[in-house]
Amino acid sequence: MAPKLTDQKDIDFVLYEQLQVETLLSSKKYKNLNKKMFDMVVKEAKNLAVKEIFPTYTECDDVGVIFENGSVRVPECLRRPHQLLVKGEWGALTEDPEYGGQGLPATIAQAAMEYLTGANYILTTYPILGHGAGKMIDLFGTPEQKTLFLEKLYTGAWGGTMLLTEPGAGSDVGALTTTAKQCDDGTYEISGSKIFITNGEQNLTENIIHPVLARIEGAPAGTKGISLFIVPKIWVNEDGSLGETNDVVCTGVEKKMGLHGSPTCSMSLGSKGKCRGLLLGQPNQGMQVMFHMMNEVRLEVGTQAFTSASLAYQNALDYARQRLQGRSIKDLADHSAAQVPIIEHPDVKRMLLKMKAYVEGMRSLVYFIAFCFDKKETAMDRSQARHYSHLTEILTPVVKAYASEKGFDVSVEAMQIFGGYGYTKEYPIEQIVRDSKITSIYEGSNGIQAMDFLGRKIAGSKGAMLKSLVDEISATIEKAKEQKTLKGLAEQLEVTLSTFLKVSQKTAAALFSPQSESAFACAHPLMDAAGDIIMAWMLLWRATIANRKLDTKNAGFYQGKIKAAQFFITTLLPVTDGKLAAITCEDNPAITMENTEF
């Protein structure tokens, strides 16, 4: 029997016990929905994931993509489940039904996407990128653009991409060289090259809509002069019919460590002088428009990393329960004692509990961010909306960076459980490790996320975003103090949180001093410590709920929540105190060291 993709009981725990998602039903926006509908959506996502998508996971990796004469063929096994995703309108769960959406809360969409993403992230990039491209058109497009593109992108009938990165620019988007020249008919002639484009060319959809960053002739240098254009692979006529093929050509696909079934393309635009695009938004507004997609995709990357960790943990847990090896520690002297499942061994238990803590903490975090989006949308006043907006903004770089690093770490730990078998293709764990590594690199590397966390989210908001986060954590700490068995854990988290506040304020202040370079050198360690504290908060929050339900028939399930919180706060959070003690903006060796000294 194959191990389960994820933990349905824990998903229900987060939705209905921790976040109490049913409270959204009292809002005007979701008054026509109910819990039965929520459960039905998640159940259907589970069925689709288990029966149709997960069977493609290893085959997709084995087959890979084929590039030939400018065309890309993806693994054929993806075709049927992709058609089911389109038919089921899974690409726009939260959007208006008018454009092919289902009008669901983001929190419920997150639960559905945990199943779909965990089953095969490669497949879900199609609806994810289509939705991202569609969302930008929804927010900034003209009525005509919405009519032409929105429903096709939201339903997944057409593919979407994001043409941002260039060979000579990379993360320095302002250095891009792709140009746009306005034509007499109001369209723009686009010319340039882009790299690392997920699904830039593929044979699953009849058309691909490329959002392209380019600079209009005469525009200012840097990011202030960048505009965004809608560049279809096949031109879309005014009546919605498909016209001639546009001058957008895939020049190659990358050979990668993982995600073998996903085409990562190099793209040439206008090599024949005939690449046409439509301006999206206003001239020089490109970065503002693109960031709506970037932030959405960064949250999706956090989900990708978390679901990889969840899948790895479930595989490792299943293996540890079945794999017989060695005698129990209690029976070491008895050479006639029977072998025991390796889950009986102390170090294996330690690794599994560590994985459980991270996976469950990350699940609560990604769901909480989705819940904050919902609370912002249904807020009764501006103050409440601003509070939840602050939370989503400060947590976005954390979930992208922290989840990507800890998700990979959990996957590696899971491989250790399998021993030598984990390093072979006999089990899927080695693929999970390979596939998950990219999450810390793409969609803004984690160093960039750390600079955003420190520079924009802490210093840039004058502490307002950090205050919203600390208020939420402190509220949980106070509730936990009321429960005798959790009081010590709450107090330990409170001390670490207090230290973090002092260090973050000092580091933020250093940005406006001669020590600014040293401050940015500390950005990643500071964000890493913030991630630890957020994990401890989520696990403590879960424990406060579980602690009141130990006399139920699911006592073992709830006891596991408390043990996870105890393990993390007593054995891992003390390391965070050391991380914070090591953060210094004064003569940081990483900055004072000369290039010649490396």
Helices then strands, each counted (H, E), the chain: 20, 12
Q: Which two tokens stand for residue 195?
A: 């790299």
Which CATH architecture best describes the domain 160-286?
Beta Barrel (2.40)
- Which of the 8 DSSP states describes residue 447? H
> Strand, helix or coil at 252?
strand
Q: What percent of the chain stands above pLDDT 70?
A: 99
Q: Pairing mode, if any, of strands 159-160 and 208-216?
A: parallel
d(CA 63, CA 126): 18
Check if the beta carbon of residue 440 is closer than 8 Å to that of residue 408.
Answer: yes
pLDDT in tens, 186-227: 999 999 999 999 999 999 999 999 999 999 999 999 989 999
The rounded percent of the chain whose pLDDT value lies above 90 is 89
Q: What is the DSSP string of 253-304?
A: E---SS-TTS-EEEEEE-TTS--EEEEESSTT-HHHHHHHHHHHHHHHHHHH
d(CA 234, CA 158): 11
Q: Tell me the per-residue pLDDT of 76-122, one tens digit each, with 9 for 90 and over.
A: 999 999 999 999 999 999 998 888 889 999 999 999 999 999 999 99
Residue 4 DSSP code: P
Hey, what are 185's tokens? Answer: 């008919």
Catalytic residue among 360, 413, 443, 472: 443
* In 49-179, alpha helices (H): 57-63, 79-87, 106-119, 121-140, 143-145, 151-155
pTM score, two decimals?
0.95
* Euclidean distance between CA atoms 523 and 534, whole angstroms: 16
d(CA 277, CA 279): 7
CB 468 within 8 A of CB 462: no
Model confidence pLDDT, tens digit, residues 420-465: 999 999 999 999 999 999 999 998 899 999 999 999 999 988 899 9
Average pLDDT over residues 151-174: 88
Of the candidates 194, 188, 320, 184, which has an alpha carbon nearest to the alpha carbon of residue 269?
194
Q: Give the H or E element holding residue 229.
A: strand 226-232
pLDDT of residue 98: 85
Spatial neighbors of 514 by CB under 8 A, at least 6 apart, are none
3-state secondary structure 336-376: CCCCCEHHHCHHHHHHHHHHHHHHHHHHHHHHHHHHHHHHH
Give per-residue pLDDT as tens, 523-544: 999 999 999 999 999 999 999 9
What number is the average pLDDT over the span 16-45? Answer: 97
Q: For 113-145, how does the pLDDT look when each residue is reduced to its tens digit (9 = 90+)?
A: 999 999 999 999 999 999 999 999 999 999 999
Helix (H) or strand (E) holding 402: helix 382-418
Give domain limits for the chain. Answer: 8-155, 160-286, 290-309+364-410+437-589
Tell me if 246 sits within 8 A of 233, measured CB to CB. yes
Look up residue 186 and give its two tokens: 């109001």
List, in order, residues 6 or more apart from 57 with CB less than 8 Å away. Answer: 119, 120, 428, 431
Neighbours of 533 (CB within 10 A): 22
Q: Is 340 exposed, middle or buried (0-12, 13-18, 19+ CB in 10 A)?
A: middle
89 carries an active-site annotation: no
Which two tokens mark 586?
A: 């004064």
Report which residue type is found at 85. L
Q: Which residues contact 209 (CB under 8 A, 6 or more apart)?
A: 130, 133, 149, 152, 153, 158, 159, 160, 161, 230, 231, 232, 233
pLDDT at position 1: 43
The answer to whether 35 touches 104, Cβ cutoff 8 Å, is: no
Q: Which two tokens stand for residue 156?
A: 């997944």
Q: Which two tokens stand for residue 66?
A: 């084929």
- For the domain spanning 8-155, the CATH number is 1.10.540.10
How many Å is the maximal CA-CA distance in the chain?
A: 89
Query: Hey, what amino acid is at 493?
Result: L
Query: Are 85 and 91 contacting, i.e. CB atoms less than 8 angstroms apart?
Result: yes
> Is residue 170's pLDDT more than 70?
no
State yes or no: pLDDT of 508 exceeds 70: yes
Instruction: List % helix, strand, coil for the chain (3-state, nearest 5).
Output: 60, 10, 25
**What pLDDT score does 100 carry?**
81
